[in-house]
Each structure stands twice: as C-alpha cells, then as structure tokens.
Amino acid sequence: MTQNDTVLLTLLPEEGFSARVPTADALQTRLAERLAEVGAPALAEFAYVQKRAAEIWGAAPTAHFARVLRAARVSSKPALKSKWQKAKAATSRLPASWRDIFQQSITASTTGKTVAGHDPWSADYFLAVINALVAWVGFCEAHDMPIAPTGATLEKYARACVERRDDPVSERTASDYLQRIHAGYTLIDPGYPSRGCEYVMRDWRERSRFGGTPTKTGAQLVTAKAIYDLGFSWIGDAGGRPMRGVHAARDFRNGLILAIGAALPERARALSYLAFDQSLVLLEDG
C-alpha cells in the first residue's frame, strides 16, 4: 500500500477498499469529518480518492463521488442582479453629467412611465443604448470630435464600424448603433435632433435593407446536422472518460445542449422551456 493509498483510507469509510463501493451518505459523512480536521486540503485529498476509486471500481459505479465532492465545494453565492439593476450599474460608465438622467429614466421605466416622450424602455434596451453611447464617447475622444452627434460625425462613426480591420460589423449593425446613439442623446438633450442626423440614420437604415450581412461567408455557416452530430460526439467522449468527474459532466451537458438545441424547431427559445421530469425525461436512470 502506498502513502497515497494510506491517505485514501483516512477519507473512505471504515471498511476502506472493500468489495463494496462506499455510498454517497458514507462519503459525505467522512468528507465532512475530514474537512473539520484539516480544512480545505481535504477537498484535494478527496479528488485523489475519486480518481483511485474509479480505477478500482470503474467510472460508472463511482459517479456519485463527483456529486459528493461538488456539493462540498459549492458555496452560497450572492443573488444575481436583475436586468434593471445591471442597467443602473452600467450608467457608471457614462460621462458624469449623464448619469442622473439615465438613473431617473430607468426608475421611470420600471414604473411604466414614458421615456423621452415614448413608451417605457426595457432594461435590455437601456443596456444597449448605454453600451452604444459608451462606444460613441470613446470614438469621439479618440478622434477629437464633439460628443454631440451631427450628421457628419454619425456618418464617420458608422463607416469606421463597417470598415475597421478588427471585428467589422454589418451595415445593419451600424444602423442599429446610430439609432441607439440617437435615442440616448435625445434623452440627454431633448432639443438635440437635427435633420442631418435623421438623414444619415435613414440612409444607413435603407442600406441595411439591401446590403445583406457581409460579416458571414458560406465557409462560416454550420449546418444543424453538424451541430447535432458534434453534440453526440461530446456525449460519447464524456462516457468514455475513465472517471465521471466534473469534466465528464460538463462535456455530457454541453453535448446534450448542442444536440437537443439543434433538433428543436425554435432553437434557443424552445431549449429554455426544457425541464427535467416535466418537458424533458431521460429514457434510463442515470
């Protein structure tokens, strides 16, 4: 018996490496005791236990070792921010003189009030407008241009987005950027809109209707069947791993998402409605 196997015996239940695989309850109890004795190093020890157990009893019979280890590692996490909270937090990236205006407008939208004379904006739209304005301000500062948009500066910005060497965008995306900048600046300065700006936005909107999507080529398109086959390939790779640990679980999960997502008619929208034992049922246990 090696020194590492002696460590194993301190973590396994009293029977150690018997013919019977330790149960999840027995492992949880022993790991909790070991954590109380040595602290966090017990988790690394248990990871070694999991590897050796898979070598002795096989991957499938020791799959529950991974669940025990994961449960011990998982700690409580702060509650996720809502989209409205994210929108309010994003205002800190704007110039200081604009922040109060956006904070007040976000608060107004959450209560159903109009924004800039229009229907209330969604949290997603606020985030899109804020991101567009942040990029616009950075462009203006880099090119020594006034921040208040004009037809000429909007045209220059749209062309720069479409023609840049790294990560160029389509004319449709550039048109969306201009619309968001316009919407945001209307909020900042209700007297801002000009005929020049409106003409440039209309021009890019018309271009986007006929210009196609130059950011995608035929070679970049991937068929649904290729994604479906890749998903099952990952599932097969996960099943072939010598140990059913977190990496195997991740590959299996990702493969399942790809395969089912490609097979569903509405793709991501339908995928979000799947729930185990409700709309999704496994054919076999485990």
Provide the pLDDT for residue 271: 63
Contact assessment for residue 208 and residue 170, using Cβ atoms and an 8 Å cutoff:
yes
| This model's pTM is above 0.75 | no
> What's the CA gap between 235 and 48, in Å, rounded?
24
| Residue carrying structure tokens 């949290």 | 123
Residue given tokens 């002795």 in the structure block: 56
The pLDDT assigned to 10 comes to: 58
Ordered per-residue pLDDT tens for the chain, 286 residues: 444 455 555 556 555 555 578 888 888 888 888 888 888 888 888 888 888 888 888 888 888 888 888 888 886 567 778 899 999 999 999 999 999 999 999 998 888 877 767 778 899 999 999 999 999 999 999 999 999 999 999 999 999 999 988 888 889 999 999 999 999 998 898 887 788 899 999 999 998 887 655 555 556 677 888 889 999 999 999 888 888 888 888 899 899 888 888 887 665 556 666 676 777 676 766 5
pLDDT for the residue numbered 49: 85
b/e map 135-164, b = 16+ CB within 10 Å: ebbebbeeeebeeebebebbbbbbeebbee
- Per-residue model confidence (pLDDT) at position 1: 41
Q: What is the pLDDT of residue 5?
A: 52
What is the helix, strand, coil percentage profile of the chain, to 5? 65, 0, 35
Amino acid at 238: A
